Amino acid sequence: MIKILVYVAVVLAVFAIGYLVKVYELASALKGKKQHEVTDGDNRLMSKFMLTFLFVFFAFVIYNLESYGPRTLPESASEHGVALDWLFNFNMAILFFVFTITHIFLFYFAFKYYGRTGNKATYIAHNNKLEMVWTVIPAVVLAIIIIFGLKNWNKITAPASKDAIVIQLYAKQFDWTARYAGKDNELGESNYKLITGENPLGMDSTDVKGNDDIIVRNEFHIPLGKEIEFKLNAREVIHSAYMPHFRAQMNCVPGMTTMMHFTPIITTAQMREKLNNPKFDYILLCNKICGVSHYNMQMTIVVDTEADYQTWLNSKSTFKKKAAAPEVKAVAAN
């Protein structure tokens, strides 16, 4: 009902404006004014609006930077992220420079050179020098950005080193499971046909490589200063492993393994201190709209010192021990 009333109000408003314009035109005709004539006075007024807009607009931009700037991500917690942030800031610096200059010219010139009767605009058909300047400068700047970008991209996407800690991140609707490769640093085989309620990753219990694997949910730990190699899998639809504080993201695709790696450089405790926020936690999010509970598909990441990481990892039981556990429980129940 309210919707219909709003529609009716909008339609009536449009009619009302139409009639007002008609009344204005008739009044002008009666006064002997030429219809739609733009006077120098009108142009002067508009030019002043242009200049006012320039200042209001920049004030708005500065206000937005001030109020929303602090909501952006804190400094990068991974090694490659520092280089990425530098590249991002370099891009932003160029953008802001060009943005400021062009907007000042746009609105200041509209103010200064507003239309006056008898004034004629200069007509320039072609100017080689100008063409060169506005082609060569952007080309050089773009080339610099692309070269820096490619250099970083090659480093980030290069294969991980052999001694990197291997962790599988398994995505399904709607949660994450992390699996550590254990002492042998090799993940055991898995197969979707083996998936059951007790074996959500479909681990193959005949593969000895999987015996020392450690499966954790809700929270996973990684050690400071060590390279971590993530192997990403998805069960049913495409998910995306997004770790914003580490400037890392990679799609998880059913039927294949995707990979990424990074080295954390700030522990959770250090970051809490830096941000003066004792509740801060690194987070793994799903960044692909994968279904109704996509928004809640997350896992806490804890960056520990090497010693704390080992203690945490040792407190977890391996796949083999866990597989044996249900029998123990059954005995206890009897």
Q: Which residues bind Cu ion (CB under 5 A)?
A: 239, 286, 290, 297
CB 100 within 8 A of CB 61: no
Q: Supply the minimum distance, in Å, between the C-beta of residue 176 and Cu ion.
A: 9
Radius of gyration of the chain from its Cα atoms, rounded to whole angstroms: 31
Nearer to Cu ion, 84 or 178 (CB): 178
Report the alpha-carbon distance of residue 300 to residue 312 in Å, rounded: 14
89-99: b or e for each residue (b if 16 or more CB lie within 10 Å)? eeeeeeeeeee
Estimate the share of the chain in helix, then strand, then coil, as percent rounded to the nearest 5: 50, 20, 30
Nearer to Cu ion, 75 or 236 (CB): 236
Q: Supply the minimum distance, in Å, between the C-beta of residue 239 and Cu ion.
A: 3
Token reading at 27: 């009044």
Nearer to Cu ion, 63 or 295 (CB): 295
Report the alpha-carbon distance of residue 6 to residue 14 in Å, rounded: 12
Nearer to Cu ion, 201 or 271 (CB): 201
Report the alpha-carbon distance of residue 293 to residue 175 in Å, rounded: 9
Q: Supply the minimum distance, in Å, between the C-beta of residue 290 and Cu ion.
A: 3
Nearer to Cu ion, 257 or 310 (CB): 257
Nearer to Cu ion, 92 or 289 (CB): 289
Residue entry with tokens 């917690």: 77
Q: Supply the minimum distance, in Å, between the C-beta of residue 50 and Cu ion.
A: 48
Token reading at 333: 């129940």
Q: Supply the minimum distance, in Å, between the C-beta of residue 295 and Cu ion.
A: 9
CB 306 within 8 A of CB 267: no
Q: Supply the minimum distance, in Å, between the C-beta of residue 168 and Cu ion.
A: 16
Nearer to Cu ion, 250 or 290 (CB): 290
Give strand ranges (E) for 97-236: 165-172, 175-180, 214-217, 219-223, 228-234
Token reading at 208: 């000895």
Q: Supply the minimum distance, in Å, between the C-beta of residue 63 and Cu ion.
A: 36
Give strand ranges (E) for 235-325: 239-243, 248-252, 258-262, 282-286, 298-304
